[in-house]
Structure 1
């Protein structure tokens, strides 16, 4: 009589489980790094997108603000158009955006990552600045104080300092 083996042996199943465990041990940290990096890049893109609005406000003789106040003196305040982000701390500034020297040519704004941001990047500050000559710059600060922060999370156009 010929008895053919059917199914898998316990050893074969244990080998498959071990292989899956090894792959998961490598893949999960890589996925977490990818998630943190894309969250930082997304917020950098969101705050950098406000530069064209700020230039338009300056060109029309206004001051950059979070909301319109057209009766403000000496310059009318024009809202920059920030509506918020689920990756920034909404208690920092207005809807998460803090504007400094909005009526001056050398102004800046910053956001602090929080709310839905990964724990590896929550607490990091992204600052976009304009010099009096009209040059824009971007910087990321606070990474050293955040558990799990890696400098590779910062995009090329907005380095960690």
Structure 2
């Protein structure tokens, strides 16, 4: 068993300084990578939201074309609010910024 842990002639292990340098480099890399991963995830969620808005717009426009409807107001019962008269063609257009809420008044 002792022979298993012995080094061959001329071989040496890593020094404590070498190990500390490697750990420090890994720490710096982790400190740089973690915030970037958070930004990538936030950007992906934002793009997913814009894509979902585009999908809703496309589905609404296709349904309106199939049914011959020219205004969203035709889909709403007479007791409901008539705020939305038409579907905005540029709801998914630029500019989209982080932490911005898209509000459409329908006017």
Band of TM-score, shorter chain: 0.5 to 0.7
Structure 1: gaps of 5 or more residues: 65-69, 75-99, 108-129, 140-156
Call closer, same or farther: CA 1:57–1:63 in 2, change over 3 Å: farther
TM-score with structure 2 setting the length = 0.61
Residue 92 (structure 2) pairs with residue 138 (structure 1) = yes
Alignment of 1:10-159 (within 5 A): 10-59=16-65, 60=67, 61=69, 73=77, 101-102=83-84, 104-105=85-86, 107=87, 130=88, 135-138=89-92, 157-159=94-96
CA RMSD in angstroms, aligned pairs only = 3.0
Deviation at 1:11, TM superposition (A): 0.6
Counterpart for residue 12 of structure 2: 6
Residues 104-148 of structure 1 show CA distances to partners (whole Å, capped at 9, x for unaligned) of: 21x4xxxxxxxxxxxxxxxxxxxxxx0xxxx32337xxxxxxxxx
Deviation at 1:41, TM superposition (A): 0.4
Residues 35-91 of structure 1 show CA distances to partners (whole Å, capped at 9, x for unaligned) of: 110111011101211112111233322875xxxxx8x745xxxxxxxxxxxxxxxxx
Q: Which has the higher strand share?
A: 1
Matched residues, number: 84
TM-score with structure 1 setting the length = 0.43
| Secondary structure, counterpart of 2:92 in structure 1 | strand
Where in structure 1 do 4 or more consecutive aligned residues deviate above 4 Å? none
For the pair shown, the structure with the greater C-alpha radius of gyration is 2
Q: Which has the higher helix share?
A: 2
